[in-house]
Amino acid sequence: MDKTLGNITQENQNYLSDQNTNSTTSSLFPDLEEAGEIVSSVEKNESSQSASSSSNQSSSQAQQSDSSKQSETSKKDTGSSTGEKPLFMLPVTGDVIKEYSNNELVKSETLGDWRTHDGVDIKGKEGTQVKAAANGTVSEVTEDAMWGMMVVIDHGGNMQSIYCNLNKAVNVKKGDKVELGTIIGSIGNTALAEVALQPHLHFAMKENGKYVDPLKCMDKVS
Ligand SMILES: [Zn+2]
């Protein structure tokens, strides 16, 4: 009897001390959560009391028509709030023969010097179709002295995709709306900065005006 009592009290003590350590480490958290719940429930009550049933109906109708305007692709996978980045896919399929250098200097085979490589080079024969990486609007079609025929697409959410070394005969012009997969042109041999490489697309992406690794923006691989 004494033994079992002793065990029980010891267990209780362990239990209590466990609780103590738990409560000291996490005591702040539940309090904050509770506070948040209280605030949000108050807001809900206020809005449901003040809003009449007719205005509720009209606001939900407006939401429906808004969402139906959105393109299918942007709705497909996310289904959540607006303003997030759209679905991205690589513009051509092929091996990456030169990776994004992430601001590191890498040797340029063509120019013989060391410089950053602000995109990826995806191998592909001249004439290979190049597709828009996501829904968006063509914001630039230019012939750059270094990068050759170049298309820039604005995707919203401060995301841009940039396609260089295209054939001069591009399929889009500034202002055109494109969808993921729209053929914008084909691989050419126009980028003097990279002519020493085998035929490829130089593909770059910018987020908030800064180059980012295009492969990390893609949704096909994690
Ligand atoms: Zn390149």
Per residue of the chain (222 residues), what is the pLDDT tens digit? 454 444 444 554 544 444 444 444 444 444 444 444 444 444 444 444 444 444 444 444 545 444 444 444 444 444 334 456 678 999 999 999 999 999 999 999 999 999 999 999 999 999 999 999 999 999 999 999 999 999 999 999 999 999 999 999 999 999 999 999 999 999 999 999 999 999 999 999 999 999 999 999 987 433
Pairing of strands 148-154, 136-144: antiparallel
Task: Note the pTM of the prediction, 2 decimals.
Answer: 0.62
Q: What is the pLDDT of residue 6?
A: 46
The Å distance, Cα 37 to ligand 1 centre, comes to: 51
The Å distance, Cα 96 to ligand 1 centre, comes to: 10
Give the distance from CA 107 to its chain's centroid. Answer: 29
Pairing of strands 96-98, 114-116: unpaired
Residues within 5 A (CB) of ion ligand 1: 121, 202
The Å distance, Cα 215 to ligand 1 centre, comes to: 13
Distances from the Cα of 172 to the Cαs of 57, 71, 90, 131, 132, in angstroms?
42, 20, 18, 11, 10
Angle CA(19)–CA(21)–CA(26) in degrees, nearest 5?
Answer: 90
The Å distance, Cα 133 to ligand 1 centre, comes to: 17
Q: What is the pLDDT of residue 35?
A: 45
The Å distance, Cα 129 to ligand 1 centre, comes to: 17
The Å distance, Cα 119 to ligand 1 centre, comes to: 6
The Å distance, Cα 216 to ligand 1 centre, comes to: 16
Question: By C-alpha distance, which of 72, 206, 137, 93 is closest to 216?
Answer: 206
The Å distance, Cα 112 to ligand 1 centre, comes to: 14
The Å distance, Cα 143 to ligand 1 centre, comes to: 16
